[in-house]
Amino acid sequence: MPEPFEEALRQRLEAVRAQGLWRALRPVAGRSGAVLETGDDRLVSFAGNDYLGFSQHPAVLEAAARAVHDWGAGSAASRLISGSLGVHHQLEATLAEFLRTEAALGFATGHAAATGVIPALVGPGDAVIVDRLVHACCVDAARLSGAKLRVFRHNDLEDLDRILRWASGLPRDDAGGPRVLVVTEGVFSMDGDCAPLAGLVELKERHGAWLMLDEAHSTGVLGPEGRGLAAALGLGERIEVRMGTLGKALGASGGFIAGSRALVDLLVNRARSFIFSTAPVPAAAAAATAALELMITRDGEEARQRLRSVSADGARVVTRAFPEPSGAAVSEGSFGHILPVHVGYEAAATALADRLRAAGVWVPAIRYPTVARGSARLRLTFSAAHTEADLHSLEQALNRASIQTPPTPF
């Protein structure tokens, strides 16, 4: 006889606890700047992705409120039924202009963007080759596509070249396949380092593959006017698929795909996460549009400069607490707005995060399955919204947490 449902769940939850992987939702009652109110506590957060502080910018808030008044709280239908509102089209036109692409398409989430585009581009008989550290949504999407999934060592061009040579030997079909899609990130979300984009572009062109670049953590932060890593290196026109999020530096919510007009037209017809989803709420689209418009203004440039300064100061604070290079390292070529502190064991990372929270600072413990087993870490993210007082609170919390030795190096 099958075991009772609740008993089966209880046993699985006990296994999660035993592995040091227990997670629980922590309600946030209010937010001001980088300070979160959680019950009776006020915690300085180094856990969010609001890199430019735009989620609380007056122009972004005003645009969201105006959209609610003009369009309502929801979109009422999917885009292909009756939910393709003017506010969505304005966002997509602004995105395409900002990224210098022919077109763009918005999705309800970044995860939906990935799971929409990859299965629309490739399928059984094709190949998807992903960097080992790409976001889980890209791995999920590759599996959904039915294509052969291969993983190359993180930022290792030689390993990618080897797999691309393997892919070139896949059986041909009547449609001219197989199609080969390489997937990487501009700035990697858990390590803060950048992809070797010039080398990736050269390799995919040499082997006749396509490249999808996820700029979730580089849009708004890197490149001229925050246009991302591809723009910083002048490679935008040589990348087939540009993916990003509206919920990080842009301070709103949602995801997008940008590229050629043909790419967007294909997604409108083939991306299931677009076709079968109610359209994103109008307020989010309007807020993202306002944030994009801010990017090219003095406010945008000042926010990026502030982020650079805060990230550099924050790295110095953390490095004083973890003096070994293996403890906390800022990746070359990045703003340092994502700073991992490698711990190793899951339980140790959780205990360290708990001590910091007790000292008034919220820094998440990142554990399996977000990162590999045994590679747990603290992940600090910095924002233009952080003040000198916030960084002082971080330093005090690190001291009060009685951290005397650096975490276990990898």
**Which amino acids are annotated catalytic?**
49, 135, 185, 189, 214, 217, 248
The torsion angle over the Cα atoms of residues 226, 228, 234 and 238, rounded to 10 degrees, is: -140
And the tokens for 406? 């650096």
Burial class (CB in 10 A: 0-12, 13-18, 19+), 155: buried
189: nearest Cα among 366, 318, 7, 15: 366
Q: How far does CA 394 lie from the centroid of its chain?
A: 24
Is 377 in a helix, a strand, or coil?
strand
List, edge to edge, every strand of the sheet that includes 35-38.
Answer: 30-32, 35-38, 41-45, 361-362
The torsion angle over the Cα atoms of residues 311, 313, 318 and 322, rounded to 10 degrees, is: 120
CA distances from 101 to 97, 174, 263, 330, 396 (A): 7, 31, 11, 31, 46
Q: What is the CA radius of gyration of the chain?
A: 22
Is 34 in a helix, a strand, or coil?
coil
Burial class (CB in 10 A: 0-12, 13-18, 19+), 338: buried
Q: Count H helices, E strands: the chain?
A: 14, 14
Q: In residues, how long is the chain? A: 410
Is 248 in a helix, a strand, or coil?
coil
And the tokens for 203? 């390799």
